[in-house]
Amino acid sequence: MILGVHVSGAGKIYQTLDIAHQLKCQTMQIFARNPQQWRAGPLDPKDIAEFKLRRKKFKIDPVFIHISYLINLASPNPRLYQGSIRAYVEDMQDAEALKADYIVTHMGSHKETSEEAGIKRLIAALNKILDETKGSKVGILLENTSGSGSWLGYKFEHQQKIIAGIKEKSRVGLCLDTAHAYLAGYDLATKEGLAKMLDEIDTQVGLKLVKLIHLNDAYGALASHYDRHDHIGKGSIGLAGMKRIITHPKLKNIPMILETPKDDETSDLLNLALVRKLSKN
């Protein structure tokens, strides 16, 4: 299996690769910049060069970058909407410089206008971003959400509508977050619930478009719409449910990234070890 974690970067961006290597990861996800702030400036060319060298040395592939939490491509606020598009283009340019493979994005909040209006704004934003980064090999992955507030993406009908409106479809795919799916109402704790969700994805957009799985257990009740992740096997999806996801023949060859809680320095090690064990049983 292709397994990794989201690595939090406190130092130089290339040091995230050291952490991923120490955890024996084959893949990883990072933020290219502080996710709670607008971009302060471009990445240092020396850091970019070192990142590419260490990635090749440690054989970390693919590499995913998660966008900033501040970006909202479905916002009805003109200033935030235009600012989000500019910031996204900058993130795409950083990802291209780093030779990252994909950018992972939440689909935004329509801020109580309407889902239809939010989806329309998101499609327009993505088309502009893809046009302004024409020639880039970096793909965009739409991540499903738990459906809290006015967030889009809690049902795969949303992804279907968005992809239908994208002009350059070859650069757009899906990121499936297991915790978000459960909290949105897909009962991944059961064999039937997992099969139903996979059928829905395949019918709406095609399973071939799922390029990444955020492998997280869910903290909270089914369809509670409250976005909280839990350790593998300790949440509401449970050990048996997580094992079914990890070993499912339609999913097991898709890269899996853990975004499980980092309670202490052993958390990632323990969760990764459990996933590896479950994948072999």
pLDDT score of 71? 95
pLDDT of residue 9: 75
Give the CATH number of domain 3-280; options: 2.60.120.260, 3.20.20.150, 3.10.129.10, 3.40.640.10. Answer: 3.20.20.150
pLDDT at 42: 83
Report residue 60's pLDDT band, with 50, 70 and 90 as the boundaries.
very high
Q: What is the dihedral of CA 83, 159, 191, 208, to 10 degrees?
A: -100
How far is Cα of residue 144 from the mean position of the Cα atoms in its chain? Answer: 8
61: pLDDT strictly greater than 80: yes
Residue 57 above 90 pLDDT? yes
Paired tokens of 18: 């050291």
The reported pLDDT for the residue numbered 37 is 75
Mean pLDDT of all residues in 74-92: 95
Rounded to whole angstroms, the Cα distance separating 231 from 263 reads: 10
Q: 35 pLDDT exceeds 90?
A: no
* Higher local confidence (pLDDT), 69 or 171: 171
List, in sequence order, every beta strand (DSSP E) within the chain.
Answer: 3-6, 27-31, 63-66, 102-106, 139-143, 172-177, 210-214, 217-218, 229-230, 256-258
Q: How much is the average pLDDT of 151-167?
A: 96
Give me the residue spans of the domains in the chain.
Answer: 3-280
- pLDDT at position 69: 86
Confidence of residue 112 (pLDDT cuts 50, 70, 90): confident
Residue of 171, 123, 180 whose CA lies nearest to 153: 180
Once rounded to an integer, what is the mean pLDDT over residues 240-251? 98
Residue 36 has pLDDT above 80, yes or no: no
**pLDDT range class, residue 126, cuts 50, 70, 90:** very high
- Does residue 231 surpass a pLDDT of 80? yes
Element of type H or E holding 159: helix 156-165
- For the entire predicted model, the pTM comes to 0.96
Average pLDDT over residues 237-261: 97
